[in-house]
Structure 1
């Protein structure tokens, strides 16, 4: 049935009203105050993140030692990042003999019921394909996905390694929560996927964190003893978790310990 001019302008007006309402809602999310007593990393570390962007991707140092026990691995990128940002880590893992897979969702623009269900299926498929559980390595927000997948699907996951992931304390103890709320359209306190951020997954769980992190507060990324099995400090930026050679070395070392 043909749409009349009146119908066209009525529909356009309704869309404009909805768009204005959505803009107003996301603007309100951006203006929310940080809770009393919650701290983010100091701004001088945030400027360090910008400097690391100018330096670009850092090359690995030398050929990594062969893995003691090669295993399938899935890498999960941080918020707003594409899997290509984790290529230096992926290359080091492959050079050591591991089977490395991307998460299959392109840019990480936050959780939805659909993309989380996809990841659950993908991890199960990889475990069946390799006839072995999969190691999940998640950078920042990707680590929250990894921890929750392991909590729900223990039989398909061998271990979880988080890289600067804010799994402990307040979800506002970082310098990215307002941007996250504007882009995803939901509060950090009310994700669209039910999850248990602080409870340790029922698999070996290692948290890599940095005192120089300019995005996530170190305490949030290190967690407490009952929230992970090990916490290892590295001296890289938050963005450096995707490409710093020392991160690749430590991830390989932890995989050999699992």
Structure 2
């Protein structure tokens, strides 16, 4: 947080957007409140930014059989803004962003993932037990496995994967994959969205 405060003014000089729509998806058990600084950063750079608006991220409940609420929100945002939406997802939110890009052709402009373990099995992290406890799902559930496999397939839109070798909870090799522009930063997993290097990397990815 001290680094963020020290770097905040300088980060305002990063490449700017021109009102393009961006939706930020939170990590496991987090809500839009956890990403307030990231959204403020991108708004300052000229993007039209919204949170996902679905409360805490409890996994596939947001995209499963209960109405595919996340997909509906992305489609509605694209319709309102008259342009496809860039998705920025932290951890589990990144997997959801990639699945949305697979299922909503023409509605997603690009995907930026932050510490998102989309390129490996669910049990290849140190958070799978927390995922089971908080989501009510099991990682050996065929539906969960199918969603992770879907998230790991190459996308048809520009994709940036921001990852860290010092993450501590998910390994770097499963946070990047085929067809991604991989950007390495030095960061822990917890509160990665407050890291100035990550905020810079997101801005550069959106402006590419």
TM-score, scaled relative to structure 1: 0.72
8 Å CA contact 2:25–2:94 kept in 1: the answer is yes
Give the match for residue 189 of structure 2.
Answer: 238
1:121 maps to 2:75: no
Between the aligned partners of 1:191 and 1:64, the Cα distance in structure 2 is 46
Q: Which residue of 1 aligns with 2:26?
A: 77
The equivalent residue for 2:88 is: 137
SS in 2 for 1:212: coil
Instruction: Give the whole-Å Cα distance in 1 for the aligned partners of 2:71 and 2:189.
Output: 26
- SS of structure 2 residue aligned to 1:135: strand
Q: Flag the 1:176–1:201 CA change in 2: closer, same or farther, 3 A.
A: same
- 1:178 and 2:137 equivalent? no
**Structure 1 runs (4+) greater than 3 angstroms displaced:** 55-60, 191-194
What is the 5 A alignment of 1:1-258? 58-59=4-5, 61-62=8-9, 63-112=12-61, 113-114=64-65, 117-190=68-141, 192=143, 194-195=146-147, 196-223=150-177, 226=178, 228-257=179-208
Q: Tell me the distance in 1 between the aligned counterparts of 2:183 and 2:113.
A: 10
Deviations 1:84-112 (A, max 9, x none): 11111111100000000010111111112
Does 1 or 2 have the higher relative contact order (CA < 8 Å, sep 6+)?
1
* Counterparts of 1:134 and 1:71, CA distance in 2: 7
When residues 189 and 161 of structure 1 are mapped into structure 2, their CA distance, relative to the original with a 3 A threshold, is farther
Deviations 1:218-248 (A, max 9, x none): 111123xx2x321110101112322111111
The two structures have a TM-score, normalised by structure 2, of: 0.88
Aligned-pair Cα RMSD in Å? 2.0
Structure 1, residues 101-137: CA drift from partner, whole Å, max 9, x if none?
0101111111121567111111011001000000000
In the TM superposition, residue 204 of structure 1 has moved relative to its aligned partner by: 0.8
Alignment gaps of 5+ in structure 1: 1-54
2:108 & 2:155 partners in 1: Cα distance?
10
Distance in 2 between the 1:158 and 1:216 partners?
26
Name the stretch that deviates more: 106-115 or 175-184: 106-115
Counterpart CA distance in 2 for 1:106 and 1:115 is 15
Cα distance change, pair 191–132 in 1 and its aligned pair in 2 (3 A): farther
